[in-house]
Structure 1
Amino acid sequence: MSSQPKPRVAVVFGGRSSEHAISCVTAAGVLAALDRDVYDVVPIGITTTGRWVLVEDPARFELTDGALPEVPATGTPVGLPLDVDTKALQRLGGAPGAPALAELGEVDVVLPLLHGPFGEDGTLQGLLELSDTRYVGSGVLASAAGMDKQVMKLLLAGQGLPVGPWTSFRARRWDTDRDGVVAEVEALGYPVFVKPARAGSSIGITRVTSREGLAAAVAEAVSHDPKVVVEAALVGREIECGVLEDLDGGEPLTSLPGEVEVVGGHDFYDFEAKYLDSGNVRLTCPADLPDDVVAAVRRTAVRVFEAMGAEGLARVDLFVDPARGEDGIVVNEINTMPGFTPFSMYPRMWAATGVDYPELVHRLIQLALRRPTGLR
Structure 2
Amino acid sequence: MSAPTQVLVIGGGANAEHFVSLGSAAAVREALSESGHRVTGLTIRRDGEWETLAGEQIGIAEAIGRLRDSDVVFPALHGESTEDGTFAGFLECVGVPYVGSGVRAGALAMDKWASKLIAEHLGVATARGVLLDRDSIYGDPAQMPLPLVVKPVASGSSYGAARVEDNDALAVAIAEARTIDSRVLIEEFVVGREIDVAVLRLASGEIHIPPPLEIGKGTEEMFDTALKYDAEPNFLLPAQVTPAVGEALRRAARAIYEALGCEGVARVDFFVRGTELVFNEINTMPGMTAHSQVPRMFAEDGVTFAQLTAMLVESAYARGARTT
SS in 2 for 1:162: coil
Q: Structure 1 residue 293 and structure 2 residue 226: aligned?
A: no
2:257 to 300, 305, 317: 305
Whether the 8 Å CA contact 1:263–1:282 is kept in 2: the answer is no
SS in 1 for 2:320: coil
| Structure 1, gaps ≥5 residues long | 57-73, 91-104, 174-179
* AA of the residue aligned to 1:206: A
The superposition leaves residues 197-230 of structure 1 with CA deviations (integer Å, 9 ceiling, x where unpaired) of 1101010001011112111000110011101011
Shift of 1:45: 0.5
* AA of the residue aligned to 1:223: T
The superposition leaves residues 275-295 of structure 1 with CA deviations (integer Å, 9 ceiling, x where unpaired) of 1111xx421111111122112
Q: Give the 3 Å change call, closer, same or farther, for CA 153–5 of structure 1 in structure 2.
A: closer
Q: Structure 1 residue 282 and structure 2 residue 259: aligned?
A: no
Q: Which residue of 1 is the match for residue 60 of structure 2?
A: 79
Shift of 1:37: 6.4
Counterpart CA distance in 2 for 1:284 and 1:248 is 30
Larger mean CA deviation between 333-342 and 162-171 belongs to 162-171
Whether the 8 Å CA contact 1:7–1:39 is kept in 2: the answer is yes
Counterpart CA distance in 2 for 1:237 and 1:305 is 21
1:89 to 54, 66, 75: 66
1:119 to 76, 82, 88: 82
Report matched runs for 1:1-376 at 5 Å: 7-35=5-33, 38-56=36-54, 74-79=55-60, 88-89=65-66, 106-173=69-136, 184-250=140-206, 252-262=207-217, 267-278=221-232, 281-322=233-274, 327-372=275-320, 375=323
Aligned length: 323
Q: Give the 3 Å change call, closer, same or farther, for CA 253–80 of structure 1 in structure 2.
A: farther
Higher relative contact order (CA 8 A, sep 6+): 2
Whether the 8 Å CA contact 2:270–2:279 is kept in 1: the answer is yes
* AA of the residue aligned to 2:208: L
Whether the 8 Å CA contact 1:242–1:254 is kept in 2: the answer is yes
Counterpart CA distance in 2 for 1:261 and 1:195 is 22
Counterpart CA distance in 2 for 1:224 and 1:13 is 20
Counterpart CA distance in 2 for 1:233 and 1:277 is 22
Q: Give the 3 Å change call, closer, same or farther, for CA 245–135 of structure 1 in structure 2.
A: same
Whether the 8 Å CA contact 2:204–2:315 is kept in 1: the answer is no
Counterpart CA distance in 2 for 1:254 and 1:215 is 40
Whether the 8 Å CA contact 1:9–1:41 is kept in 2: the answer is yes
Larger-Rg structure: 1
User: Could you tell me the TM-score, scaled by structure 1's length?
Assistant: 0.80
* AA of the residue aligned to 2:56: G
Whether the 8 Å CA contact 1:162–1:331 is kept in 2: the answer is yes
Structure 1 vs Structure 2 CA RMSD: 2.4
* AA of the residue aligned to 2:40: V
* AA of the residue aligned to 1:112: P
Counterpart CA distance in 2 for 1:157 and 1:119 is 26
Shift of 1:158: 2.2
Structure 1's consecutive aligned runs of 4 or more residues displaced over 3 angstroms after TM superposition are: 78-82, 372-376
The superposition leaves residues 82-123 of structure 1 with CA deviations (integer Å, 9 ceiling, x where unpaired) of 9xxxx7328xxxxxxxxxxxxxx7111110111111110111
The superposition leaves residues 253-283 of structure 1 with CA deviations (integer Å, 9 ceiling, x where unpaired) of 111000012259x9411111101111xx421
* AA of the residue aligned to 2:281: E
| Structure 2, gaps ≥5 residues long | none
Q: Which residue of 2 is the match for residue 95 of structure 1?
A: none
Q: Give the 3 Å change call, closer, same or farther, for CA 303–216 of structure 1 in structure 2.
A: same
Whether the 8 Å CA contact 1:239–1:287 is kept in 2: the answer is yes
Larger mean CA deviation between 45-54 and 28-37 belongs to 28-37
User: Could you tell me the TM-score, scaled by structure 2's length?
Assistant: 0.93
* AA of the residue aligned to 2:249: V
Shift of 1:161: 2.2
